[in-house]
DNA sequence: GTCTATACGAAGATAGAC
DNA sequence: GTCTATCTTCGTATAGAC
């Protein structure tokens, strides 16, 4: 196995375990066991746990950028792109109800630990923020695009947290429908499908 | 010092440290040091860390009930009571930007740990949920009072998470103003002060 | 009730053989 | 590049003196 392949496998396993169990609660042994590696070998690829965290955050930044680029390329309407963002909540509902939002929960954990990487983790939010802001600008809301982007992020985070606490899939679907209705109110010219409203 | 006094001091110190650093990241030694106690003495009061967690959650349930009871007693209008809930975000903004929402972050952490107490922690949310639901019922929205309560909780959680990630006090104030405008739209008869709207 | 001393295991990290 | 063995630190938990 080449160094890069093993390294990549470590990052992907750490990414999953940091999400499912949290950063602190995941040990080197956990990641190594997952891959059938010895702990010793581990240190050939990463000297410290913080190095793995940095690599995981970079990996998440890359995959997130790829996802947003794909939406930018494949979806014509900015409103439909924003809807794709809403729909993450439904597509990932099972994992969200079990482990929360990968971005929000990591930022919260690193904030409590006052960890050096907490600002890096917040860049994941910043990535969504600037992308969403761009979509709202394209919808003619350049003046308050950033505030609208933060508002959307805020609601997605709230839905994730409550969905985890209450394990309630209907709540997720209701709030996504409400987000779509909200989007329609914000940008009535964007030719969205007719929204269902609740509450 | 009586057993009950010491026990109460332990619970209060643990409550604060669990909030500021997280449950897992807080050790017995941390709590003991905070109070000038020896670790040995500690075990006279609590046998395991999970016992402390249970006591902390019970303590939070009590103080939360006290706060809601006081609002119920001191504030006439249900809409004004709901506004008091919104205003927690502003009153506690400094601690929220540093450590997030005490309820949301605890529920998230316990969910990741798949901890036995995660359902107990969710009862803190349930307490706010049923109280908010009661206020919306009193405002004539009995039919969808629970959905409205969850919606309010959802937005408060989202605001807390993003405020932590971005350390943005103006964002908090803007979203609280938006919540007040939303409340006014939901219950136009409730004689609220004129809301500022944004975004 | 509070203390000191200590057992035990887990986790981060290193050294050196293959 | 991967392994085993080992070191060190820390955290939970216990025993027993005062």
Report helix, strand or coil for B184: helix
Which residues, given as ranges, of chain A have pLDDT below 70? 1, 190-199
Residue A91 touches chain B, beta carbons under 8 Å = no
- Residue B192 above 60 pLDDT? no
**Residue with nearest Cα to nucleotide C16 C1':** A40
| Contact status of B153 with chain A (Cβ, < 8 Å) | yes
> Is pLDDT of B106 > 90?
yes
- Chain A positions touching B157 (Cβ under 8 A) are 157-158, 161-162
Phi then psi for residue B95, to 5 deg, are -70, -35
CATH of the domain at A61: 1.10.357.10
Q: How far is the CA of B152 from the C1' of D6 (A)?
A: 55
CA of B40: nucleotide with nearest C1': C3
Q: How many residues does chain A have?
A: 199
Nearest nt to A43, CA vs C1'? Answer: C13
Any domain includes A7: no
- Mean confidence (pLDDT) of chain B: 94
pLDDT of amino acid A35: 93
Contacts made by residues A57-64, CB under 8 angstroms, sequence distance 24+: A57/A106, A57/A117, A57/A120, A57/A121, A57/A123, A57/A124, A59/A11, A59/A12, A59/A15, A60/A15, A60/A102, A60/A103, A60/A124, A61/A123, A61/A124, A61/A127, A64/A124, A64/A127, A64/A128
pLDDT value at residue A4: 87
Note the pLDDT of residue B169.
98
Cα gap B135→A95, rounded to integer Å: 32
Q: Is A38 left (phi over 0), alpha (psi -120 to 50) or beta?
A: beta
* H-helix or E-strand spanning residue B57: helix B49-74
Nearest CB to B165; choose among A99, A125, A198: A125
Please say whether the beta carbons of A158 and B157 come within 8 A: yes
Among candidates B104, B112, B151 on the partner chain, residue whose Cβ is nearest the Cβ of A161: B104
Residue A165 lies in a domain: yes
B46 assigned to some structural domain: no
Confidence check: pLDDT of B148 > 70: yes
Structure tokens at A2: 């080449």
Task: Say how many CA atoms lie within 13 Å of B46 toward its Cβ.
Answer: 22
| A162, B150 contact by CB (below 8 A) | yes
Asked whether the predicted pLDDT for residue B38 surpasses 60, the reply is: yes
State pTM to two decimals: 0.96
Asked if B156 has any chain A CB less than 8 Å from its own CB, the reply is yes
User: Is there a contact between B183 and B82 (Cβ–Cβ < 8 Å)?
Assistant: yes
Which residue segment(s) compose the domain that A99 sits in? 56-186
Task: Answer yes or no: is A22 within a domain.
Answer: no
Residue bearing tokens 């010895």 = A38
Q: pLDDT digits over A2-43, tens only?
A: 888 999 999 999 999 999 999 999 999 999 999 999 989 989
Chosen from A57, A140, A147, A154 to mutate, greatest number of chain B CBs within 10 A: A154
pLDDT the model gives residue B191: 62
Q: Which of A25, A111, A198 sits opposite B113 (nearest CB)?
A: A25
CA R_g for chain B: 19
Structural domain count of chain B: 1
Q: What is the pLDDT of residue B186?
A: 93
3-state DSSP assignment of residue A124: helix
Asked if B166 is an interface residue toward chain A (Cβ–Cβ < 8 A), one would say yes
Size of interface A-B (CB pairs under 8 A): 131
| Closest nucleotide to A23: CA versus each C1' | C11
In a domain, A192, yes or no: no
Encode pLDDT of B55-74 as tens digits. Answer: 999 999 999 999 999 999 99
User: Is B140 a member of any domain?
Assistant: yes
Residue B36, domain member (yes or no): no
Residue A33 in any domain: the answer is no
Angle between helical axes of A28-35 and A3-21 (0-180°, round to 10):
120
**Protein residues bordering strand D (Cβ below 7 A):** A 1-3, 6, 36-41, 43-45; B 26-30, 39-40, 43, 47-49
Residue A187 has a pLDDT of 86
């Amino acid at each position: 196995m080449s160094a890069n392949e093993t390294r990549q496998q470590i990052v992907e396993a750490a990414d999953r375990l940091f999400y499912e169990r949290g950063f602190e609660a995941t040990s080197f042994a956990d990641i190594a066991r997952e891959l059938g590696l010895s702990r010793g070998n581990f240190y050939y690829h990463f000297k410290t746990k913080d190095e793995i965290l940095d690599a995981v955050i970079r990996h998440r930044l890359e995959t997130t950028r790829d996802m947003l680029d794909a939406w930018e390329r494949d979806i014509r309407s900015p409103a439909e792109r924003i809807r794709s963002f809403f729909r993450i909540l439904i597509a990932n509902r099972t994992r969200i109800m079990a482990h929360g939002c990968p971005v929000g929960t990591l930022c919260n954990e690193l904030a409590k630990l006052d960890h050096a990487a907490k600002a890096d983790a917040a860049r994941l939010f910043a990535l969504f923020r600037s992308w969403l802001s761009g979509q709202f600008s394209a919808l003619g809301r350049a003046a308050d695009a950033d505030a609208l982007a933060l508002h959307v992020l805020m609601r997605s985070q709230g839905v994730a947290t409550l969905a985890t606490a209450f394990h309630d899939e209907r709540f997720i679907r209701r709030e996504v429908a409400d987000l779509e209705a909200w989007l329609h109110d914000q940008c009535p010219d964007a030719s969205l499908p007719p929204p269902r409203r609740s509450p």
